[in-house]
Amino acid sequence: MDNKADHSYQATHYDIIIAGAGCAGLSLLYSILRSPVLSSQKILVVDKSFEKSNDRTWCFWETHNGKFDALVCKKWEQISVHKNEFSTTLPTAPFTYKMVEGIEFYKHVMDFAKQFTNLHWQEAHISSIDTINEEAIVYWEGGAAQGRKVFSSIFPIDDLYVISQSKQSTPFLWQHFKGHLVSFEESVFDDRVARLMDFNVDQHGATAFMYVLPLSDKKALVEYTLFSKTLLKPEAYSQAINHYIQANYPAIPYQINHEEIGAIPMTTQSLAKSKAPIYVIGTLGNAVKASTGYAFQFIQAQVDTIVSNLEQGGPIQTEVQQTRHQFYDAVLLYILYHDLMEGSEIFKRIFEKNSIETIFKFLSNTSSIWEDIRIMRSLPTKIFLPAAIKVLFRRG
Ligand SMILES: Cc1cc2nc3c(=O)[nH]c(=O)nc-3n(C[C@H](O)[C@H](O)[C@H](O)COP(=O)(O)OP(=O)(O)OC[C@H]3O[C@@H](n4cnc5c(N)ncnc54)[C@H](O)[C@@H]3O)c2cc1C
Of the candidates 59, 63, 29, the residue with the CA atom closest to the CA atom of residue 43? 29
Whether 1 has a pLDDT exceeding 60, the answer reads no
In a domain, 221, yes or no: yes
pLDDT band at 294 (very low <50, low <70, confident <90, very high): very high
In a domain, 163, yes or no: no
162 compared with 24, residue with greater pLDDT: 24
Please tell me whether the peptide bond between 265 and the residue prior to it is cis, using omega within 30 degrees of 0. Answer: no
pLDDT at 5: 47
Asked whether residue 308 falls in the same domain as residue 331, the answer is: no
DSSP H or E segment with residue 14: strand 12-19
Give per-residue pLDDT as tens, 193-212.
Answer: 999 999 999 888 899 999 99
162 compared with 385, residue with greater pLDDT: 385
Query: Mean pLDDT across the stretch 382-396?
Result: 88
Atom of ligand 1 nearest to the CA of 177: 1
Whether 6 has a pLDDT exceeding 70, the answer reads no
Asked whether residue 252 falls in the same domain as residue 219, the answer is: yes
Which residue puts its alpha carbon closest to atom 46 of ligand 1? 20
* Burial grade of 183 (CB within 10 A; 0-12, 13-18, 19 or more): middle
Asked whether residue 338 falls in the same domain as residue 364, the answer is: yes
Show the domain range for 79.
64-98
Which CATH number covers residue 189?
3.30.9.10
Q: At what angle do helices 381-392 and 324-337 cross, to 10 degrees?
A: 110
Which CATH number covers residue 300?
3.50.50.60
Asked whether residue 363 falls in the same domain as residue 291, the answer is: no
Residues with Cβ within 8 Å of 293's Cβ and at least 6 positions away in sequence, in order, are: 175, 264, 266
Instruction: Report helix, strand or coil for 376.
Output: helix
Whether 284 has a pLDDT exceeding 80, the answer reads yes
Asked whether residue 20 falls in the same domain as residue 49, the answer is: yes
Atom of ligand 1 nearest to the CA of 25: 25
Asked whether residue 280 falls in the same domain as residue 138, the answer is: yes
pLDDT at 165: 75
pLDDT at 395: 52
pLDDT at 162: 77
pLDDT at 2: 45
Atom of ligand 1 nearest to the CA of 140: 42
CB burial string 156-165: b at 16+ within 10 A, e below:
eeeebeeebe
Q: Is the CB of 283 under 6 A from ligand 1?
A: yes
Whole-number percent of the chain with pLDDT over 70: 97
Give per-residue pLDDT as tens, 94-115.
Answer: 999 999 999 999 999 999 999 9
Q: Which residues pair with 260 in a beta bridge?
A: 179
Query: Mean pLDDT across the stretch 22-34?
Result: 98
Q: Which residues pair with 265 in a beta bridge?
A: 174
Asked whether residue 298 falls in the same domain as residue 232, the answer is: no
In a domain, 167, yes or no: no
Whether 8 has a pLDDT exceeding 90, the answer reads no
Give per-residue pLDDT as tens, 139-174.
Answer: 999 999 999 999 999 987 777 777 777 766 789 999
Whether 65 has a pLDDT exceeding 80, the answer reads yes
pLDDT at 158: 75
pLDDT at 292: 96
Q: Which residues pair with 327 in a beta bridge?
A: none
Residues with Cβ within 8 Å of 382's Cβ and at least 6 positions away in sequence, in order, are: none
Q: What are the CA-CA distances from residue 250 to residues 135, 195, 253, 257 (Å)?
A: 61, 18, 9, 19
| Total structural domains within the chain | 4
Q: What dihedral do alpha carbons 284, 289, 293, 297 form, nearest 10°? A: -90
Q: Which of 257, 278, 312 lies at the terminal end of a domain, its last residue? A: 312
Q: Which of 312, 342, 368 lies at the terminal end of a domain, its last residue? A: 312
Asked whether residue 178 falls in the same domain as residue 238, the answer is: yes
Which residue puts its alpha carbon closest to atom 34 of ligand 1? 20
In a domain, 139, yes or no: yes
Asked whether residue 90 falls in the same domain as residue 71, the answer is: yes
In a domain, 2, yes or no: no
In a domain, 188, yes or no: yes
Asked whether residue 256 falls in the same domain as residue 111, the answer is: no
Query: Mean pLDDT across the stretch 7-19?
Result: 86
Query: Mean pLDDT across the stretch 226-247?
Result: 96
DSSP H or E segment with residue 374: helix 369-377
Give the distance (Å) from ligand 1 centre to CA of residue 312.
28
Q: Is the CB of 25 under 6 A from ligand 1?
A: yes
Q: Which of 231, 266, 301 lies at the terminal end of a domain, its last residue? A: 266
In a domain, 5, yes or no: no
Asked whether residue 223 falls in the same domain as residue 359, the answer is: no
In a domain, 212, yes or no: yes
In degrees, to the nearest 5, what angle opens at C-alpha 127 toward C-alphas 121 and 132?
Answer: 85
pLDDT at 293: 96
The per-residue pLDDT of the chain, averaged, comes to 94
205 compared with 43, residue with greater pLDDT: 43
Could you give the CA distance from residue 349 to residue 281 in angstroms, rounded to a whole number? Answer: 33
Give the distance (Å) from ligand 1 centre to CA of residue 23.
6
Asked whether residue 215 falls in the same domain as residue 256, the answer is: yes
Across 168-172, 266-270, 375-379, the highest mean pLDDT is recorded for 375-379
